[in-house]
Amino acid sequence: MTDLHIRREGRAGRITLDRPQALNALSYEMCREIDAALRRWASDDAVALVIMDATGDKAFCAGGDLAEMYATGRAGDHGYGRRFWADEYRMNARIAEYVKPVVTLMQGFTLGGGVGLGCHASHRILCETSCIAMPECAVGIVPDVGGSRLLARAPGRAGAYLALTGARMGPGCAIWAGFADCFVPRADWADLVAGLVTTGDLSCLPKHPAPESSLAARAGAIDRLFRDHTGAAICAALDTDGSDFAKEAQAGIARGSPLAQACALESLRRLGPAPDIQTALEMEYRFTYRATEASDFLEGIRAAIIDKDRAPRWKHASLAEVTQADVAAMLAPLGARTLTFDGAEGERL
């Protein structure tokens, strides 16, 4: 397909996203093609490692292509979104658990679905322009694609802060928070890839010091202000604090869906500090399975992508209004519809 180049070069399986005009947004077809390639290469002795990158300067992958999900959901077809998410999540798990090294090179924006593609790899490389975030609450869903696992494993309460605010991380912050491993100047990427392709040997990965992290500098404030597991208490702490950082965090929280934010906090509480990828994805799928039918997702997409009025009408006016019953309903087990990781691609859901 023209949006995606999958091939074998030397000792490497190569996957290159090629939709620069759409910031390399990930379509359902692209998810399926990537997953098929990974399954194929897993048993191919000629492939020593996998390299994932993208064309253009602005983005590795700025998220999922949500237009079709919006259209089908508005029409009452909730099955399309459920199939997309299920197959995407299986791809995310495959990357995280892959039997061979996976090297991702993430320039520019890596947001949402791009995090699921690039930040579960075994060797995650950033450059000067890298900008990583989980902004899902701003479109009415929880941080997904395995992002809850990354957020749960972030230092202290940084995961709660990043989930609620959708704050963007430069390379230093992303490495500190555990979303990436190393910094390599963009000018060196071509030689790096050439070496990996030729040798299949990870010893050619250079070692550069990570840039400074403003998140690390704010870790104490984040841990203090976001220590509670309820949105109402966090908002009260921010209001009482009144610092510039607290006001910045409040502005980020104000952009998101209160229901999604409350569910994100509860998901992190349930997952604990070190969840495995499948546990995190199964929890996320409880929300996204219900998303087009019962959450703020369609309204969030309308406001951000369709009408672009940036004025979503959420189901709740604030985090304080979201009840435990609201959260429990969105995160309840799915029974026979529970996400599994051994099902056929594209199975009916």
**Is there a catalytic annotation at residue 172?**
no
- Pairing type for strands 102-106 and 123-126 reads parallel
Spatial separation of the C-alpha atoms in residues 152 and 175, rounded to whole Å? 15
**Is there a catalytic annotation at residue 144?**
yes
Which stretches within the chain are classed as H helix? 28-41, 67-74, 79-96, 113-118, 147-153, 158-165, 171-177, 189-199, 214-217, 219-225, 231-241, 244-254, 258-271, 277-294, 297-301, 324-330
Structure tokens at 294: 């019962």
Spatial separation of the C-alpha atoms in residues 42 and 48, rounded to whole Å? 9
**Is there a catalytic annotation at residue 113?**
yes
Q: Active site residue: 3, 65, 87, 144, which one?
A: 144
Contact (Cβ atoms closer than 8 angstroms) between residue 328 and residue 177: no
**Is there a catalytic annotation at residue 64?**
yes
Q: Active site residue: 13, 63, 73, 113, which one?
A: 113
Sheet holding 109-111, edge to edge: 59-61, 109-111, 131-133
Q: Active site residue: 13, 63, 64, 147, which one?
A: 64
Q: Active site residue: 3, 136, 181, 284, which one?
A: 136
Tell me the CA distances in angstroms from 4 to 71, 80, 108, 115, 180, one per residue in order.
Answer: 24, 22, 18, 17, 23
Spatial separation of the C-alpha atoms in residues 87 and 190, rounded to whole Å? 31
List the catalytic residues: 64, 113, 136, 144
